[in-house]
Chain A
Amino acid sequence: MKPLAVTGLGICSSLGIGREAFLRGMNAPPASTVSAKITSFDATAYPQARIAEVVDFDPTRYLGDKGLRTLDRLTKLLIVAARLALHDAGFKRDNAWVRSSGEQVGLICSNAYGSLEAITELDRVATLEDARYINPAKFPNTVSNSAAGYVSIWEELRAINVSVSDGNCGGLDAVACGEIFLETGRAEALLIGGAEAMSEALYLAFSRLGALDAQTPIGEGAALLVTEVAERVAARGDRSMGELVGYGTAFVAPIHVGPLLHASQTAMERAIADALADAEVKAADIDIVASGVSGLDAFDDAELAAIAKVIGEGVCVAAPKALLGETLGACGAMGLAAGLAWLDGAPPTPIVRGALRTPSRAVRTVLVTTMGFYGNASAVVLRAGTN
């Protein structure tokens, strides 16, 4: 693919809010990012819950205190990430456009589960009281693209707004969408990434599925990369944080008619091979893999085996989810953010296989991988900017 330059990052994560706080966290990660006290929902019924929430999330610091009352957590996380991204890339200053315009900037956002917080709240009202009493101001939050729609309203993004959902792979699939939309001239710049918000329903669902790992907490967050056609960024002499240069995806169903959940090593191998080919880089060029390893054995084993087969046994594989949590629809974007931090010189942590061949400051090419729960897998190649 034609390289896309990353010219800004907006992030709400368990390591901090905003690019600087995130990079500080990646450079000197705390011993644990598990929330000492869960604030996203009343967790008194879940004393064992280990959740990596966004730290110190106070949306009024970024958005003021007007107009937030009916917005859900997912929406607030995403608007804050978008606002930070636009300021980080220099499109806005003091929330006013100083470069380009809302007509030329759009959003491509991955999310896996929507606002479970809003849906379950209204379901409770409808069941325990009466459906006629559900709050019409909160009803819009139940729609899957609501958070992204509110971002456009708050940040005046009019070029395009595209919501994508492919479970854990959506954040990387958003890159493939963004490439097409930038290359076909639908926007000058796109905020590409993903978001997922913690709620009691989300925690309960993964708890009941037995999908919570002792090491990797379930998490939440929003990460948006400001992307522009790299040629144009270079032409105006600007630096980038990195370049998105290749994408691959695959879906492989289980051979036998079986349950929906399926870890496909073959899909991961194809996604990686296609991403390398798309990026026109060789396996030996990959300095490190930002894997989706999350402590679910079947999925981790398939992913690590695929990485070993396509990239090689010795390649350094890190598991950013150990710090950032399993953020589902946001995890691809979180993996990209981790990759950007490594390109910036942060030491990859934790490494689950292999070792860096070079000092961390010399990392030039990162492969980001995500395993879906159904036989889907995606991969993106991220490399240091050419400027």
Chain B
Amino acid sequence: MQQSPRVFITGVGVVSSLGLGKDEFFRALGEGRSGISVVEAFDASGLGRELAGEVKGFRARDHLSAAEARRTGRCSAMALAAARMATADAGLGGDALRGPRTAVVVGTTMGEAGILEDLDQAWISRGPTGVKRALIAKYGSTLLPIHIARAIGAEGMVLTLPAACAAGNYAIGFAADLIRRGRADVVVTGAAEIIQELQFSGFVRLAAMAPQRCQPFDLNRQGLILGEGAGLVVLESEAHAMRRDARLIAEVGGYGLSCDAYHITRPHPDAAGSIAAMRAAIERSGLTPNDIDFVNAHGTGTKHNDAAETKVMHDVFGARRVPISSMKGMLGHCMGASSALEAIGCMMTIETGIYPPTIGYETPDPECDVDVVANVARRGASNVVVNNSLAFGGYNCVTLFAKPGVLPPPRIIGRAA
């Protein structure tokens, strides 16, 4: 038995439709700005939907070497750029992270889906010999952490967690576990996702996409709008952070996992899995629901999701109306990257006390009777923030972040909770 170490976030990096880098990202979140625009990556005009939270103005060469840019697809490039920003933000640039005690854990839904689409196009139009080796080598979700590990010299575990729209939370939660278990001192973690034609068309065919706006928790919400981006953070053990006198942004508390085992695309209507995951995150942090100041919702703007999350809020918090908000009206639903970007948004809340707004909220829905931070950011207590995510496949993952010094000592690894 050993005392489980505390784990802190000491750096963040962002590539998003709201801007590159945390300063632009935080400013846009605080102002309630929208990053939604007409998709330029492909011609969506015939699909009946054409809006997305597309990252405009991201040029790989601004962040990657020529060799790195040649080797990476757009998803890996965004992940690597965000990882560089995160390590720089943590003051761990250069060779500071070189060695076997640094791991890289990255979440995604589809990884380099754009590369696969290009391969398929070449195969369809030019036959098997048209499929080029150099392009094949760039495909695979496995590559996301590999590119980052190569760039920063990490020599520990390199792992991709394909956990669909909860992937960012999965990655951050598991990365904290790796440190608590003693398998790493530092983990660069988070998630990345790109918008790509097949997946965009698929969401249209699932009738899940809103035509104009994503309006989480609103009575007239019509669905989600896709987004893309990368959110990476640096997680450090307390000892590692103390040795170098690191700036501690937030402590990573416990996290909750569950699986609905109900439907491949829809959350369980009774929300039992999501409720269990949120309760687990709070209990595994040594807290009670009364300690939670703010909930960042998954808040996709679909009828099913927002109603299910409301049930979670009522079940976990009872009559206490904990403020809740969704960033997806601003960012779009960045799929695998969403809960990572939103976890970084939670860092803004913890540092500044600003709750980012749910934009597009106009008409309260009796089925979503929660205290929505509507349209304009709100200030409030921010000692403990919960980040909710529900995903395709019935995956649920909830992370919890707290101001340094707030959480009780972590549970002891080796003792079943």
Contact = CB atoms under 8 A, between A and B. Distances in A.
B120 to A, nearest CB: 4
Contact of B117 (A123, A173, A267): A123
Contacts of A102: 261
Interface string A131-147: 11011100110111110
Interface stretch (A7-15, A90-98, A156-164, A283-291): A156-164
A257 B395 contact: no
Contacts of B259: 106-107, 149, 152, 157-161
Interface stretch (B139-147, B236-244, B376-384): B139-147
A260 B137 contact: yes
Interface in A1-48: 2, 45
**Most interface-central of B67, B150, B207, B273 (chain A CB within 10 A):** B150
A127 interface: yes
Interface residues of A, number: 82
B212 interface: no
Contacts of B131: 204-205, 208
B12 to A, nearest CB: 23
Contacts of B161: 162-165
A134 B177 contact: no
Interface stretch (A182-190, A330-338, A352-360): A182-190
Nearest to A123: B120
A194 B413 CA distance: 26
B199 interface: yes
B8 to A, nearest CB: 19
A158 B262 CA distance: 9
The B interface, classified by DSSP as helix, strand, loop or mixed, is mixed
A122 to B, nearest CB: 6
A118 B123 CA distance: 15
Contact of B393 (A132, A145, A156, A204): A145
A281 interface: no
A126 B198 contact: yes
A123 B47 CA distance: 15
B137 A142 contact: no
A143 B164 contact: yes
A332 to B, nearest CB: 13
B126 interface: no
A153 B394 CA distance: 8
A261 interface: yes
**Most interface-central of A145, A173, A186, A374 (chain B CB within 10 A):** A145
A352 to B, nearest CB: 26
Contacts of B181: 179-180, 183
Interface in B222-274: 257-265, 273
A184 B205 contact: no
A301 B133 CA distance: 23
Nearest to A1: B181
B405 interface: no
A252 B155 contact: yes
Contacts of B197: 126, 131
Interface residues of B, number: 82
Contacts of B219: none
Contacts of A170: 142, 159
B162 A132 contact: no
A139 B202 contact: yes
Interface in A199-217: 201, 204-205, 207-210
A153 B264 contact: yes
Contacts of A207: 128
A81 interface: no
B393 A152 contact: yes
B204 to A, nearest CB: 8
Contact of A162 (B113, B170, B264, B415): B170
Nearest to B146: A374
A127 B163 contact: no
B100 A270 contact: yes
B283 to A, nearest CB: 11
A158 B273 contact: yes
A31 to B, nearest CB: 30
B183 A136 contact: no
A250 B264 CA distance: 34
B286 interface: no
A164 B177 CA distance: 15
A159 B258 contact: yes
A73 to B, nearest CB: 16
Contact of A250 (B121, B155, B263): B155
A128 interface: yes
Contacts of B261: 102, 152-153, 155-158
23 contacts: A45-B128, A120-B120, A123-B198, A126-B197, A126-B198, A132-B201, A132-B205, A145-B109, A145-B163, A149-B164, A152-B261, A153-B263, A158-B261, A160-B257, A164-B161, A166-B142, A166-B160, A167-B142, A210-B133, A250-B155, A251-B157, A257-B65, A260-B138
Given A131-B197, A144-B110, A208-B132, 19 more contacts: A122-B198, A123-B124, A142-B198, A143-B162, A144-B164, A145-B395, A146-B392, A149-B394, A150-B393, A161-B395, A165-B161, A170-B159, A173-B157, A180-B174, A208-B128, A249-B158, A251-B157, A260-B143, A270-B155
Interface of B: 46-48, 65, 67, 71, 100, 108-111, 113, 116-117, 119-121, 123-124, 128, 131-133, 136-143, 146, 149-150, 153-164, 170, 174, 177-178, 181, 183, 197-199, 201-202, 204-207, 257-265, 273, 391-395, 411, 413-417
